[in-house]
Amino acid sequence: MSACYPLSSCIEWQFTEAGELDARLRAAKAAGFELAEFHLWRDKPVDALAQALNETGMRLTGVCVDPRRSIVDPAERAELVTAVRETIAATAKLGKPDLIVASGFRVEGLSEEEHFANAVAALRAVADVAEEAGVTLLLEPLNTQLFAAMYLVSTKLGLDLVEAVNSPNLRLLYDVWHSAVMGEDMAQVLAGRIHLVAHVQVADMPARNEPGTGSVDWAKVTQTLADLGYSGAIGLEYFPTLPMDQSLALTRQKLDC
């Protein structure tokens, strides 16, 4: 029997009719959520969000490091470390949420070994910052359909990087949609390594909409997560095609939550 996971609303794309992000947070709370997440923070009302979090008792499961900088280009490493430091400082009032890191694009002329070594060095540098601040970084593999030249488009490679850095403050964000776009076998790529995954996000194939609108076998997804021993939350990072109450009803039905 699969487990029922706590669900986190991506208020970047959901409850948009409520207006600003702090109002979306309150709308998510009214819809029954205790968790939420969004993307970049510099263009968001951080102070108003902090007030809304305090009033609702909600918790953020993830915010992106802003600005995004490459982990494989040494020329951007100092800017990456600065971005992580500034994001940690800015989001402290939001409850020190986990911070999402993408890889950036491949660097022309570098071998696979050089890409990997550069990524490990950069992630080690920002993991040191995260350890000092008591914050968790989430490394997120994406896909080549959205970003043809993105370096990290493999769950296995992402987990290899997390293992190589070997920091308790660096974990993987596993996105079911990105993984499916890349044709991965979920059970296979996560086998024996679920302890390195701190957050899971979902959307249906192919159009990144709510579970139940596409081809993903959601009973199999939730059963696989349960079999592997995943114990975190599930982020609903999808574009709704239905009014939010109907979208959430369908999603909860498909995820058995």
Which residues are known to be catalytic?
140, 237
Contact 204, 168 (CB under 8 A): no
Report residue 202 as tokens.
């979902």
Tell me, rounded to whole angstroms, the distance of Cα 10 from its chain centroid. 10
User: Three-state secondary structure along the chain?
Assistant: CCCCCCEEEECCCCCHHHCCHHHHHHHHHHCCCCEEECCCCCCCCHHHHHHHHHHHCCEEEEEECCCCCCCCCHHHHHHHHHHHHHHHHHHHHHCCCCEEECCCECCCCCCHHHHHHHHHHHHHHHHHHHHHHCCCEEECCCCCCCCCCECCCCHHHHHHHHHHHCCCCEEEEEEHHHHHHCCCCHHHHHCCCHHHEEEEEECECCCCECCCCCCCCHHHHHHHHHHHCCCCCEEECCECCCCHHHHHHHHHHHHCC
